[in-house]
Amino acid sequence: MTKPVQSALMRQAHMHMPQGVAENYRYWGDAQTVFVHSAKGCRITDVDGQEHVDFRLGYGPIILGYRDERVDAAVVAQIQRGGTVTGFSTALDSQVVQQIKALCPQIDKLRFANSGTEAVMGALRTARGFTGRTRIAMVEGSFHGLFDEVMWKSDIEHWDPSSAQVPQVIPFGAGIPQNSRNLVDIIGLNDHAALEQLFAQRGQELACVILEPIIGNAGSIAATSLWLQRLRDLCTQHGALLVLDEVKTGFRVAAGGAQALYGIYADLTTFAKAMGNGYPVAAFGGRADVMDVVGSQAGGVVHGGTYTANMVALSAAHATLDILTHTDALKTIDRVGLQIKALLGRVFTQAGVPHAFAGPPAMLGIHFTSDVPSTYRDWRKTDSALYNRFAWQMIAHGVMLEPDSREPWFMCEAHADVDLAWLEDMAARSVQIALA
């Protein structure tokens, strides 16, 4: 399908922004970069009039649906009543915290932020302030935002799975100082030997270990309960804090996030995305004694921001959390996710494509391999090239995905009105073309 308006906008945008986009991850190439005209429910319409059922959902913030009237009405009412930002406190600050505490028993106290990146920055600084230590550890495949220290990764893309070598650790890109690597250790998910070795070598230096319990940038590959519990025990034993990054999983995979599914709780937790149904709001919080190092007292951890706890963000969070708490929205999302998982399983089986699903139905990872990956390195062994071809065909047929199989399918409440027979037909057509 030709995209004349999109092509014209792309040419124009190149004159004003690097790559012609507002942030790197929106650039899919000059011919494929999507320009959206409108969005409603689970559908987006591009500038050339093609409609897509969207399973990308802005990388996960949309939990109810685009332009949900309940959330938007609460935001508009707040703007009309009290504006957007004053630099002062409001009653809504504590009200939203109380909503989160009712869903997440690991939260005693909390501070707000504007993005997942900011929430992680606040959590790591707090962990260091509480422990008096500086070193952190991360897990392969997890993504914790766009600041230098956490922008180190295992170079899985160029790693040979058949070799005895481990992947090289590299920065995400240019401009990241090498010295930001010096205080970071990286271990493999579900690797018991590496976990024991980390604490044997670094136990007295670690301020914290941070990870996504269900990795949103690795196709929802998840920690096992056994491994996560051992990590929890080792952190406690060595005086390091466990930080669980629930920017993607929080209020999505369950009302209480991934920790509610595991029954294993962190010292600090980060939230964002689904808590505001697309409005820019985030938070970090945890144990009272840990969070109490944040403050203006001498030697306290500094946290702030002009737009922190702005009234647009908090009114959206208040409405979204109320809906997730008092309606069947999450049950609907899980039901739809299971239906879509079943129909895709039928399509892949009929086409003879080995496949495995990972993660909860609200955040469904799809891997073209026979076994569910248990580590990020296992993803490298999947047929990601076939998935990429399949995804581009789905996009052409009106189903919006991230072409990279490391990004899961995100579900929202509005997906309940998707024609599942149509979706199964589009998937069957797409996989046949991808295999040809």
From 268, 301, 326, the end of a domain falls on 326
Average pLDDT, rounded, for the chain: 97
* Statement: residue 1 has pLDDT above 80: no
Domain that holds residue 357: 34-63+328-435
pLDDT tens for each residue of 379-403: 999 999 999 999 999 999 999 999 9
Residue 270, in any domain of the structure: yes
Would you state the structure tokens that stand for residue 123, as one six-digit string?
């959590």
The whole-number pLDDT of residue 118 equals 98
Domain boundary among 326, 356, 387: 326
Asked if residues 105 and 265 have their Cβ atoms less than 8 Å apart, the reply is yes
93 burial (CB, 10 Å; 0-12 / 13-18 / 19+) is middle
Residue 105 lies in a domain: yes
Which residue carries 């709780």 as its tokens?
A: 265
Q: What gap in Å lies between CA 259 and CA 365, rounded to an integer? A: 19
Q: Give the Cα separation of 317 and 359 in Å (integer).
A: 25
152 and 270 together in one domain: yes
Write the CATH number for 145: 3.40.640.10
Residue 16 CA to residue 355 CA, distance in Å, equals 42
Nearest to 282 by CA among 240, 323, 251, 254: 251
Q: Is residue 42 a part of any domain in this protein? A: yes
Q: Could you tell me if residue 5 is inside a domain?
A: no
In this structure, are 319 and 417 located in the same domain? no
Q: Is residue 39 part of a domain?
A: yes
Structurally, how many domains does the chain consist of?
2
Which tens digit of pLDDT belongs to each residue from 215-270? 999 999 999 999 999 999 999 999 999 999 999 999 999 999 999 999 999 999 99
Predicted confidence band at 297 (pLDDT cuts at 50, 70, 90)? confident
Q: In terms of domains, do 146 and 294 share one?
A: yes
Query: Residue 179 contacts by C-beta under 8 Å, 6 or more apart in sequence?
Result: none
In order of 124, 205, 252, 372, the CA distances from 201 in angstroms are: 20, 9, 36, 31
Residue 31: what pLDDT? Answer: 94
Q: What is the per-residue pLDDT for 159?
A: 94
Q: Within this chain, do residues 102 and 55 fall inside the same structural domain, yes or no?
A: no
Mark whether 257 and 276 lie in a shared domain: yes
pLDDT reported for residue 380: 94
pLDDT over 90 at 35, yes or no: yes
Same domain, yes or no: 309 and 335: no
Query: In this structure, what CATH number is given to the domain that contains residue 339?
Result: 3.90.1150.10
Q: What is the pLDDT of residue 319?
A: 98
Considering the domain architecture, whether residues 40 and 106 belong to the same structural domain is answered as no
- Boundary residue ending a domain (298, 326, 354): 326
Structural element, H or E, at residue 98: helix 91-103
pLDDT, mean of residues 177-193: 96
Which SS3 state, helix, strand or coil, does residue 357 take?
strand
Whether residue 44 is predicted with pLDDT greater than 80 in this model: the reply is: yes
Mean pLDDT of 417-433: 98
Q: Does residue 21 belong to any structural domain of this protein?
A: no
pLDDT of residue 178: 96
Q: What is the pLDDT of residue 216?
A: 95
Element at 242 (helix H, strand E): strand 241-246
Query: By the 8 A CB rule, do 189 and 219 touch?
Result: no
Q: What is the mean pLDDT of residues 109-131?
A: 98
Q: Report yes or no on 25 lying in a domain.
A: no
Q: How far is 77 from 36, CA to CA, in rounded Å?
A: 27
Q: What is the model's pLDDT at position 87?
A: 94
In tens, the pLDDT along 51-79 reads 999 999 999 999 999 999 999 999 999 99
1: in domain: no
* Mean pLDDT, residues 344-358: 98
Give the model's pLDDT for residue 393.
98
100/47 same-domain check = no
pLDDT of res. 324: 98
**pLDDT surpasses 90 at 2:** no
Contacts of 341 (CB under 8 A, 6+ apart): 357, 361, 364
Query: Are residues 219 and 274 both part of a single domain?
Result: yes
Report residue 176's pLDDT band, with 50, 70 and 90 as the boundaries: very high
Residues 216 and 334 occupy one common structural domain = no
**How far is residue 403's CA from residue 387's CA, in Å, rounded to a whole number?**
7
Same domain, 348 and 308: no
Q: Among the residues of 39-135, which ranges form H helices?
A: 69-82, 91-103, 116-131
pLDDT band at 299 (very low <50, low <70, confident <90, very high): confident
What DSSP state is assigned to residue 416?
G
Clarify whether residues 190 and 298 are in a common domain: yes
Q: In the prediction, which pLDDT does 64 show?
A: 98
